[in-house]
Amino acid sequence: MNLDIIILAAGQGKRMYSAKPKILHSVGSWCLLEHVHKTAMQLNPDRIWIVHGHGSRQVLDAMHHLDATWIEQLEQRGTGHAVAQVSARLGDDGTVLVLYGDVPLITADTLNRLLAHGDPDRRLNLLTVGLDEPAGYGRILRNATGAVTHIVEEKDANAEQKQIREVNTGILCTSGALLKRWVGQLRNENSQQEYYLTDIVSMAVQDGVPLHTARPDDVVEVMGVNTRTQLATLERAWQRRQAQWLMERGVTLRDPERIDIRGEITDLGQDVEIDINVILEGKIRLGNGVRIGPHVVLRNASIGDQTEILAYSLIEDAAIGSACRIGPFARVRPETVLADQVHIGNFVEIKKTSIGNGSKVNHLSYIGDACIGQQVNVGAGTITCNYDGVNKHQTLIEDGAFIGSDTQLVAPVKVGKNATIGAGSTITRDAPADALTLSRVGQKTVDGWTRPLKKTQT
């Protein structure tokens, strides 16, 4: 079966009160239009058509990577008018599915059920849903036998029709030949003077074309976005869906309502545990037995087996090995690679650094542009002074070195294998292997000195 998918994405979204078109607002890590396009691609269509209008330049600049044919609707005169921008380019054979760029959570399973009904050459299939509060939606009118006869828009409905709870979602499919014929017959004789795509329902009834309906598994699939409140509602629905996906694959979530997944988990091990208020962004890999503490942010990060990330840590664009311990309050910045059994402690910042097996940077240190070997101990308050005001320079610390607390390593500098750097040192030249290197001002005691005392007031 040939399949064309039309995504209507020309609206402004005035109630968003935004400088950017509505479809460019995001749920999770993708904008509304991207969500719909991703779902459309799961149906393996022959062509995807995107009808754009308001903020066309912004939309095209942001979404040019989508695999689609873009059609501009210069005037926004209703859904029927939007489809008419495409219909002349459609073939008569095959099926046409109409989706909406501001309805991001529709699923491929629901759409496949919609597409499965009836003879592809002679049918009109509608996706409907029952709502407790149907205000604002077009109502589905049925005859005594339950057959759909018409859709009446909210603004044109009478009091009795407004009591109907079954509403039109706008998502439908039919053949290319029928769609072209019906769209060509649309009129704008209604309160909005717009061309309603829903008017093709009564045309199908008049032509004796069978109508079929399907419903989504969850009402959030067909919820659109017109306000920031609706955007927030769908954001939380999306996060619940992601949380459910994780739990079904063996992840323990301390509270499924308090996790935000704004990216893609590309690899997921067994027995992963995630505490509250964790944010996962970009591409994430979590190995077996990974434990993530509360309020952690992972962005484009790979976390090895049995590694623990403690509270309030941030890891971005970095690879962490197995059996590591990171945090609390640690920041691991881009281009950092940690081997196995590495400890990064509280209030430590690591940037563009490789650290070998079993090494530790446990307290209050900044390590940038460094290469650290195995079984190295970096004491509290250590700084690699990597920037001279113009260029960045590297610090090399070889296996087994011990860096005393409050040390400044002024790069470029090398600390040799099994070297020891005395606490409080400023190292400006290479420190040799197997030796103690230190730089300190001599300590002295001043005899007879006393602390000053506050003068007593008389």
The residues assigned a catalytic role are 363
pLDDT at 75: 87
Average pLDDT score over residue span 441-454: 89
pLDDT per position as a tens digit, 146-189: 989 888 888 889 999 999 999 999 999 999 999 999 999 999 98
Q: Give 346's Cβ-side CA count (13 Å radius).
A: 2
Residue 167 lies in a domain: yes
Confidence class for position 454, pLDDT limits 50, 70, 90: confident
Q: Higher-confidence residue: 418 or 193? A: 418
Residue 234 belongs to a domain: no
Domain contains 457? no
Measured CA to CA, the distance from residue 415 to residue 359 in angstroms comes to 14
Q: Encode pLDDT of 69-92 as tens digits.
A: 999 998 889 999 999 999 989 988
Q: What is the CATH number of the domain that holds 43?
A: 3.90.550.10
CATH number of the domain encompassing residue 311: 2.160.10.10
Q: Does residue 454 lie in a domain region?
A: no
CB atoms within 10 A of CB 41: 15
One domain, residues 73 and 190: yes
Cβ neighbourhood burial of 350 (10 Å; 0-12, 13-18, 19+): buried
8, 55: one domain:
yes
Rounded to an integer, what distance in angstroms lies between the CA atom of residue 119 and that of residue 124? 9
Q: Transcribe 19-40 into DSSP letters.
A: SS-GGGSEETTEEHHHHHHHHH
> Can you give the pLDDT at residue 190?
81
Asked if residue 423 and residue 343 are part of one domain, the reply reads: yes
Q: In the 8-state DSSP scheme, what is residue 96?
A: E
Q: Which residues neighbour 454 within 8 Å (Cβ) at sequence distance 6 or greater?
A: none
Would you state the pLDDT for residue 191? 78
Lowest-pLDDT range of 237-241, 247-251, 449-453:
449-453
Q: Which of 67-81, 117-131, 201-215, 444-458 has the lowest mean pLDDT?
A: 444-458
Whether 112 and 251 map to the same domain: the answer is: no
pLDDT at 457 over 70: yes
Shared domain check, 246 and 215 = no
pLDDT at 93 over 70: yes
Say if residue 413 is in the same domain as residue 272. yes
Same domain, residue pair 249 and 351: yes
Do 426 and 410 touch, CB atoms closer than 8 A? yes
pLDDT attached to residue 76: 86
Mean pLDDT within 394-400? 98
Quickly state the pLDDT bin for 63 (edges 50, 70, 90): very high
Q: Which two tokens stand for residue 443?
A: 């300590």
Domain that includes residue 406, residue range: 242-437
Same-domain status, 8 and 132: yes
Name the pLDDT band for 377 (thresholds 50, 70, 90).
very high
Q: Is residue 375 part of a domain?
A: yes
CA quadruple 245, 251, 257, 261: dihedral positive or negative? negative
- Residue 345, Ramachandran bin (φ over 0: left; ψ between -120 and 50: alpha; else beta): beta
pLDDT at 1 over 80: no
Q: How many CB atoms lie within 10 A of CB 313?
A: 22
Return the pLDDT at 40.
98
Q: How many structural domains compose the chain?
A: 2
Output 404-409 pairs: Cβ under 8 A, ≥24 positions apart: 404/379, 404/438, 405/379, 405/380, 405/381, 406/379, 406/380, 406/381, 406/382, 407/379, 407/381, 407/382, 407/383, 408/382, 408/383, 409/382, 409/383, 409/384, 409/385
Does residue 376 share a domain with residue 300? yes
Q: What is the pLDDT of residue 189?
A: 84
Same domain, 198 and 131: yes
> Nearest to residue 103, comparing CAs of 170, 163, 20, 200?
170
65 shares a domain with 95: yes
Residues 208 and 250 in one domain: no
Does residue 13 lie within any of the structural domains?
Answer: yes
Q: Mean pLDDT of all residues in the chain?
A: 95
Q: Residue 458 pLDDT > 70, yes or no? A: no
Does 446 map to a domain?
no
Q: Specify the pLDDT at position 36.
A: 98
- The answer as to whether 233 is a domain residue is no
